[in-house]
């Protein structure tokens, strides 16, 4: 007859082995869950990092076409941005004989030359605090006085124009002799954002039109300004009276050339 204690011990030993195997499987499953959780956490962290990088890249791209303060307003949920500015100073420029130059230069050379010049203009605006609005072909539009405060930006725009002219005059003429015309006028504008899939920040109004016409009636490497601008600059800058010229839509108009800073 079997010993009851031996039978009981054998059963307990068997049950213990079964329990140990179950515990081993549970521990293995738990380790797998931990590894999976760690892996998921790693994947999630990587996804968050990639998302933040894409957001930063999108913001940098947005800031290439919109001023910081305008981008911030869009990010805060504004859907219609349109601001009136009572007194700003608008600068318009283009290159003399650009059509002829563009026909003579290979496309890659033309774009490289334009890129160097426009990058230089951008750096000047950054330094002087004038806001670049856009380029259209070979034309460059910038505005001073948009960012609040009492200043109309006249002196900053004058400094910008003088530096732009100096940059063009100093530009290496390896492929073409670049010359610039600049027009400047002060007055009210409307500024805002247009477009849905492609945003554009722009300015409109008679002040912009007059600056454009002053540019088109200027002379090579000269800065053509209205009497409104001349009145604001004459204490600190050398101005040469040009007399009266006929501006489209304005008739006979008194204008000046901005020559240099006063000593």
Q: Is residue 76 scored above 70 in pLDDT?
A: yes
pLDDT at residue 156, rounded to an integer: 95
pLDDT at 3: 56
Percent above pLDDT 70 for the chain? 87
What is the Cβ-side half-sphere exposure of residue 21, based on CA atoms within 13 angstroms?
5
pLDDT score recorded for residue 4 = 55
- What's the CA gap between 225 and 71, in Å, rounded? 32
Q: How confident is the model at residue 131 (pLDDT cuts 50, 70, 90)?
A: very high
Please check the confidence at residue 194 and state whether its pLDDT lies above 90.
Answer: no
pLDDT beyond 70 at 253: yes
User: Mean per-residue pLDDT for 44-62?
Assistant: 70
Task: State the chain's mean pLDDT as an integer.
Answer: 86
CATH superfamily to which 82-261 belongs: Nucleotide cyclase, GGDEF domain (3.30.70.1230)
Q: Taking residues 127-147, what's their average pLDDT?
A: 93
Residue 45: pLDDT above 90? Answer: no
pLDDT at res. 33: 78
* pTM for the structure as a whole: 0.77
Flag the least confident range among 53-57, 79-83, 154-158.
Answer: 53-57
Q: Which residues pair with 139 in a beta bridge?
A: 136
Please tell me the predicted confidence (pLDDT) of residue 2. Answer: 53
Give pLDDT, residue 6. Answer: 56
pLDDT at residue 249 tops 70: yes
């Amino acid at each position: 007859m079997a010993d009851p204690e031996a039978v009981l011990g054998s059963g307990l030993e068997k049950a213990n082995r079964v329990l140990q195997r179950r515990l081993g499987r549970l521990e293995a499953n738990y380790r797998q869950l931990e590894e999976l959780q760690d892996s998921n956490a790693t994947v999630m962290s990587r996804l968050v990092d990639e998302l933040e990088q894409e957001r930063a890249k999108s913001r940098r791209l947005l800031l290439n076409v919109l001023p910081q303060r305008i981008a911030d307003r869009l990010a805060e949920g504004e859907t219609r941005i349109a601001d009136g500015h009572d007194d700003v100073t608008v600068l318009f420029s283009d290159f003399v004989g650009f059509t002829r130059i563009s026909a003579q230069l290979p496309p890659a050379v033309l774009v490289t030359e334009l890129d160097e010049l426009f990058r230089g203009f951008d750096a000047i605006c950054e330094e002087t605090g004038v806001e670049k609005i856009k380029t259209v072909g070979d034309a460059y539009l910038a505005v001073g006085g948009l960012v609040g405060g009492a200043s109309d930006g006249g002196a900053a725009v004058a400094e910008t124009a003088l530096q732009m002219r100096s940059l063009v005059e100093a530009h290496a003429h390896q492929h073409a002799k670049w010359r610039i015309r600049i027009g400047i006028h002060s007055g009210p504008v409307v500024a805002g954002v247009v477009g849905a899939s492609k945003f554009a920040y722009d300015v409109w109004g008679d002040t912009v039109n007059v600056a454009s016409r002053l540019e088109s009636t200027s002379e090579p490497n000269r800065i053509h300004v209205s009497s409104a601008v001349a009145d604001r600059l004459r204490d600190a800058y050398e101005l040469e009276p040009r007399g009266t010229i006929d501006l489209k839509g304005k008739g006979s108009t008194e204008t000046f050339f901005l020559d240099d800073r006063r000593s």
